[in-house]
Chains A and B, each alone.
Chain A
Amino acid sequence: MEILNLLASIISKEISISFPAARGLLKLSIIDEFGPFKALKEIKFSDMTLVVNESLKKRLIDLNVKNYAQLISILIVELKNNQSLFTLG
Chain B
Amino acid sequence: MIFPSYLIVLLYFSFYTLLLVGIVILFRMIQKKMVNLLGLFLFFILFALQTNPPAFLPDYFIIIFAYFALFCLAFFIKFTFYQRRKSLFPLIIVLLTILRGLELILKLIFNFQPGFSYPSNPGEIPYFFVYILVIVSQSLLVMVWYSYSVFKSYNNFRKLKIGVWLKIRYLMLGISTIIFSIDTSLSILLVIDNFLIILFLAYASIFDILLFTVVNFIAWVIPFKSLIQYVKGETKEKLDDISEAKIIGKVKSELSEDKQGGNS
- Residue positions of A touching B, CB distance < 8 A: 1-2, 5-6, 8-10, 15-22, 24-25, 27-28, 30-31, 36-42, 44-46, 49, 63-65, 78, 80-89
- List CB contacts (< 8 Å) of B150-169 with chain A: 150, 152-153, 156-157, 160-163, 166, 169
Given that A17-B258, A38-B239, A87-B37 are contacting pairs, would A9 and B160 also be in contact in the complex, using a CB cutoff of 8 Å? Answer: yes
A82 touches B239 (CB 8 A): no
When A40-B237, A87-B37 are in contact, do A18 and B254 touch as well, CB less than 8 Å? yes
A63-B153 in contact (CB<8A): no
Interface centre among A16, A45, A87 (most CB of B within 10 A): A87
Shortest CB–CB separation between residue B146 and chain A, in angstroms?
Answer: 11
Q: Is the Cβ of B162 less than 8 Å from the Cβ of A6?
A: yes
Minimum C-beta distance from A86 to chain B (A): 8
Measured between alpha carbons, how far is A27 from B220 in the docked complex, in Å? 25
Q: Which residues of B are at the interface with A, using a C-beta cutoff of 8 A?
A: 32-34, 36-37, 80-85, 149-150, 152-153, 156-157, 160-163, 166, 169-170, 219-220, 225, 237-240, 242, 244, 246-248, 250-252, 254-255, 258
Docked complex Cα distance between A38 and B157 (Å): 26
Main secondary structure of the interface of B (DSSP, over half): helix
Number of A-B contacts (CB under 8 A): 113
Q: B247 contacts A21, CB within 8 Å?
A: yes
Query: In whole Å, how far is A57's beta carbon from the nearest beta carbon of chain B?
Result: 15
Q: A1-B237, A81-B156 are in contact. Are A88 and B219 (CB under 8 A)?
A: yes
* A8→B156 CA distance, assembly (Å): 15
Enumerate chain A residues within 8 angstroms of B161, measured Cβ to Cβ. 5-6, 8-9, 19
Residues of B within 8 A of A81 (CB): 152-153, 156
Q: Report chain B residues within 8 Å CB of A63.
A: 248, 251-252, 255
A28 CB contacts on chain B under 8 angstroms: 242, 244, 247-248
Which residues on A sit within 8 Å (CB–CB) of B81? 83-84
Q: Can you report 30 residue pairs joining A to B where beta carbons are below 8 Å apart?
A: A2-B162, A2-B163, A5-B160, A5-B161, A5-B163, A6-B162, A10-B160, A16-B254, A16-B255, A17-B251, A17-B258, A18-B254, A24-B247, A27-B239, A28-B247, A28-B248, A31-B240, A37-B239, A37-B240, A41-B32, A65-B255, A78-B156, A80-B85, A83-B82, A85-B153, A85-B166, A87-B32, A87-B34, A87-B36, A88-B166
